Chain A
Amino acid sequence: MPLQALRTVAKPQNGVGAFILQCKRLDFHYCDWAGSSRGMKYAAKHRQPPHLSMQTLYLLISSRSTSSFLKHNLSAFAAANPSIEISVSPRPGKHPVIRGSYVNGREKAICVRNLEPTEVVKKAEILKSANGEKLRIERKVVKSLNESVRGVWSPFHGREYRI
């Protein structure tokens, strides 16, 4: 039998060639009446958080002291992420929520009730940088597509076991 070549399929690795942001849409919902939407709309003076990306820090520095996320921070966030479709709509009588839609068809929502604008920005960043996979505990931290270098152990090969 002639040697047959191994059929290999290109393994998709996001970011090796081109990077596709998994978050395709962010929906921001708020309530005009409820106080829990204050951070989304009208906020008290916010403090600078200790660890944030340069981009987020820029967003915060550029906003005014008494600001709201939707009024002042959203435009910068949207300009920084042109590939994400952003929709803002009221949801009367409910807590404010940010809902992210992903390429794998799943959705994730984070309730931002009673949060300050800086915290709302952080939650938006979390949703933006997530993929749509379910949150799970990672048992095996190291992942690789390559086969094991020295082979998988079997009882039939290797040193004989004697009692």
Chain B
Amino acid sequence: MRASRPAEQALRLATSSTTQRYTCRACRAQAARQFHTSVPREAEVPFYKRLQETLFGSKQAQNAEKVREEKRGDRSVELRGKGGEEAEAGAVEVKMGKNGQRYEIAALVDPDLTKNYTPATTWDGLQRVGSEEWVKARADRGEQYVGFVPKTRVELTEKQWQLLLHDIMVEILVLQKAGRPVGQICYPRGLEGYGPSELLDVCNGEIAPSADGTGITISFSTDGARKRMLNAIPSRLSEPVPQEPVLDEQESLDAPIEDAGELISAQEEHMLFMDSHIAASQDRSRPTWMKIPITGPHVKIALAKRILQLTGRRLSDRALSTSSTLSDLHHHLLARPKTKKLSQAPEIEILRSNVKTPNVTFKSNRQTPIHKEKAIGRWKVIEEELIARGLPVTGSRWQGAKVTVE
């Protein structure tokens, strides 16, 4: 350890800038003497010995391997003594690691003892540590859960978005007036939450600014609608219970999650129900209720969450923070995302279909010389001649050339 101190000093001197500090000649000379590029103890070992250790392992490693083999041999003898198969089947040896982690030691299988043991030829079906399924199983801890966002994103028209916003706002206001947290709107309801009477109650709710202009009033055409709606929305989160008995690990992971399917089909039913009421609800197309200010961040978040849950459509933070009314949210929901490629832009689509400019052609892909030859009809002649001469039609016949996939 004493030898490391001057070496550290030497390294510090070598790496630090010497513009500001002064080092005397003696210190500099000592640093030069003590500075080593290799570890001093290894310098004592001759080069051929070091090479031998690298290739064949050091004596310490070989001894450790011998000890491990002996232990393995002892274990197999022990297994034979215990009765072989029966002992292997039941025993799961657990070892505690340094930081308190539990490790299960893999069972030692002696092929001479286990007659029905056949070694695998491929890795299909074998447990793989670090595979996607393994990670998922560990992360979920064996639980089956239903995703919050639907698998498919729903595309709605302007009218449908209006109705959806209206219905969600009705539910939020009912919860607010009942003194319940508005976040409960997203709690899983099951099929009974999407019954025809519940959907009708939501659709028949009317939002309007209050007479004095300070609040919002909500009115229903049917009696008991408010109560039914409150009963349909659960007040607490229930534990996710899988509908079917737990299958084998692999099968359970691969099997479709039926809870989510039922939930999604209920959401689709809601959408279809809305579609059927678009014609009947022309009065609701009046945008006066859309100009009602959205008060409180909880309401905005509940709106955004419910929209995400039903349609899979996300609202950006900027859209949420800059929106003060439902019409602002509506505008953000209708806005199409910016296209990555110019050929997908709406202006170019219009240009393509414009009758007034028949002289414009728009190509989505790079035009190669082959495209140009094809346009004038010369390509087939070129292709025939190349094939006749045994030359590659596209690419080159150089051995390292990339193989073109047709």
Contact = CB atoms under 8 A, between A and B. Distances in A.
B363 A92 contact: no
Contacts of B347: 71-72
Given A30-B342, A90-B343, A74 B360 contact: yes
Interface in A16-73: 30, 32, 41, 70-72
Given A71-B345, A78-B359, A78-B360, 4 more contacts: A71-B342, A83-B359, A87-B360, A90-B363
Interface stretch (B162-170, B293-301, B348-356): B348-356
B141 interface: no
Interface stretch (B38-46, B125-133, B364-372, B392-400): B364-372
Given A71-B347, A92-B366, A32 B340 contact: yes
Contact of B360 (A30, A32, A86, A91): A86
Contact of B364 (A30, A41, A90): A90
Contacts of A82: 359
A26 B391 CA distance: 34
Interface string A74-89: 1100110111111111
Interface residues of B, number: 21
Interface in B361-381: 361-367
Contacts of B365: 89-90
Contacts of B101: none
A146 to B, nearest CB: 39
26 contacts: A30-B342, A32-B342, A70-B342, A71-B345, A71-B348, A72-B347, A75-B354, A75-B357, A75-B360, A78-B357, A78-B359, A79-B357, A84-B359, A85-B361, A86-B357, A86-B359, A87-B362, A87-B363, A88-B363, A89-B363, A89-B365, A90-B341, A90-B363, A90-B364, A91-B366, A92-B366
Nearest to A89: B363
A70 B339 CA distance: 15
Most buried by B among A30, A78, A82, A83: A78
Contacts of B366: 89-92
Interface in B331-349: 340-343, 345, 347-348
Contacts of A81: 359
B325 to A, nearest CB: 26
Interface of A: 30, 32, 41, 70-72, 74-75, 78-79, 81-92
A88 B357 contact: no
B361 A79 contact: no
Nearest to B342: A41
A84 B366 CA distance: 21
Contact of A88 (B341, B350, B361): B361
B54 to A, nearest CB: 46
B362 A88 contact: yes
A121 B342 CA distance: 18
Contacts of A92: 366
Contacts of A87: 360-363, 367
Across chains A and B, which 7 residue pairs bring their CB atoms closest together, nearest first?
A89-B363, A71-B347, A78-B357, A89-B367, A86-B360, A78-B360, A88-B362
Contacts of A85: 359, 361
Given A90-B364, A90-B366, A91-B366, A70 B359 contact: no
A99 to B, nearest CB: 11
A90 B357 contact: no
Contacts of A30: 342
Nearest to B352: A88
Contacts of B363: 87-90
Nearest to B338: A42
Contacts of A79: 356-357
Nearest to B356: A79
Contact of B342 (A72, A75, A78, A90): A90
A46 B351 CA distance: 22
A70 B343 CA distance: 10
Nearest to B361: A87
Contacts of B345: 71
Contacts of B340: 32
Nearest to A42: B342
Contacts of A89: 362-367
A110 B30 CA distance: 67
Contacts of A41: 342
